[in-house]
Amino acid sequence: MLQLVRSLTIRRDFGRRGFNCVQILRRTQDFLELIKFEHTVFALPFAYLGMLLAVGGWPTWREFVWITVAMAAARTLGMSANRLADRRSDAENPRTADRPLVTGAIAPGTVWVGSAASVLVLALAAYQLGPLPTRLLPGALVFLIAYPFTKRFTLLSHWILGFTDGLAPVGAWAAIRGSLFTLDDLPAWLLLTIVTFWIAGFDLMYACQDVEFDRRAGLHAVPARYGIAAALRLSAVCHALTTVLLALLGLLTGLAWPFWLGLILVAALLAYEHAIIYPHNLSRLDLAFFNINGVISLTLFAATFAALMI
């Protein structure tokens, strides 16, 4: 009898642990879905560009791993802060009303825990990458946490988002070179400017979905203020500047022909992206935003890597 009780107790405890594991896995999955972790592919290749150009080739595996960890942690923190800041407005916006934090699939406390963990991981990665990344960390945290609030008071929120993402290649450069403020560090600042305009360009496009809601909520976005057509024209200007600045980067760093081949492909993809989006028809916006931009960032990384290897 005693053995039977013990057996039942062990089974009950195991069942509880198994249930807890399932809950943890489910909450982790919901959290990753909430922050769209798979979209790290947009920004991570640009962090790698800063890394590749800083070293003139491939860095040590230790540097590569910690730069990757830092980038993933930074994006997780930024998206978590965004979701927490916009929780109420997301609930009122039909396009975002099914997000896990709105529906209750994931609790705010879970997102807060994820944010705190991201800060700790980012701080550890910065420490591992050297004194300069560690000193730059507070500034990066300010932009990562404060960005979601900028749309409440300035039309520059699109470019502030781009600048925040542009800190990734700057941080990677600083980790490799240990410097940022000499003439030799100009490519890092050029990368920051490139990412600022590239991200702002497609954020302008993405904001076209929420024109009516942004107007009702009093949020500051170019499409809501000046209309979708004007926003798409400004987006095209941003992406034209992105292409020009990429060419300047290639000249400044003396990159070989694979980079220029990649740049031609990127320019064609940007042109195609704008060719399929119309002020009166945004049905292909997801294709432009999620698919084409991912291909663009990966193409630039591959082309730059090949150019440096040659």
CATH code of residue 294: 1.20.120.1780
Query: How many structural domains is the chain composed of?
Result: 1
Decide if pLDDT at 2 tops 60. Answer: no
Q: Where are the alpha helices (DSSP H) in the chain?
A: 2-34, 40-55, 61-85, 87-92, 100-103, 108-129, 131-150, 157-177, 186-206, 211-217, 222-226, 228-253, 257-275, 285-286, 293-309
Q: Is 277 in a helix, a strand, or coil?
A: coil
pLDDT at position 290, please? 73
Decide if pLDDT at 10 tops 50. Answer: no
Residue 74 in domain: no
Place of tokens 């990753």: 32
Q: Are 132 and 180 in contact (CB under 8 A)?
A: yes
Residue 174 in domain: yes
Contacts of 23 (CB under 8 A, 6+ apart): none
Domain that holds residue 275: 41-59+132-309
Residue 97 in domain: no
Decide if pLDDT at 116 tops 50. Answer: yes
pLDDT at position 4, please? 42
Place of tokens 């694979």: 258
Q: What is the DSSP letter of 282?
A: -
Residue 244 in domain: yes
Q: For residue 37, which of 76, 88, 83, 85 has the smallest C-alpha distance? A: 76
Decide if pLDDT at 125 tops 60. Answer: yes
Decide if pLDDT at 60 tops 90. Answer: yes
Range in 25-39, 167-181, 281-295 the model is least confident about: 25-39
Q: Which residue has the higher pLDDT, 223 or 4?
A: 223
Write down the mean pLDDT value for the chain: 88
Residue 3 in domain: no
In angstroms, rounded to a whole number, what is the distance separating the alpha carbons of residues 7 and 193?
Answer: 65
Q: Are 66 and 129 in contact (CB under 8 A)?
A: yes
- Taking the CA atoms of 243, 143, 129 and 44 in sequence, report the sign of the dihedral they define: negative
Q: Which two tokens stand for residue 271?
A: 């042109």
Q: Which residue has the higher pLDDT, 1 or 204?
A: 204
Place of tokens 């960005």: 147
Residue 225 in domain: yes
Decide if pLDDT at 11 tops 70. Answer: no
Residue 259 in domain: yes
Instruction: Give the pLDDT band of residue 41 (cuts 50, 70, 90).
Output: low
pLDDT tens-digit map of 151-189: 999 999 999 999 999 999 999 999 999 999 999 999 999
- Residue 142 CA, distance from chain mean position: 15
Q: Which two tokens stand for residue 232?
A: 């798409």
Residue 185 in domain: yes
Q: Which residue has the higher pLDDT, 36 or 285?
A: 285
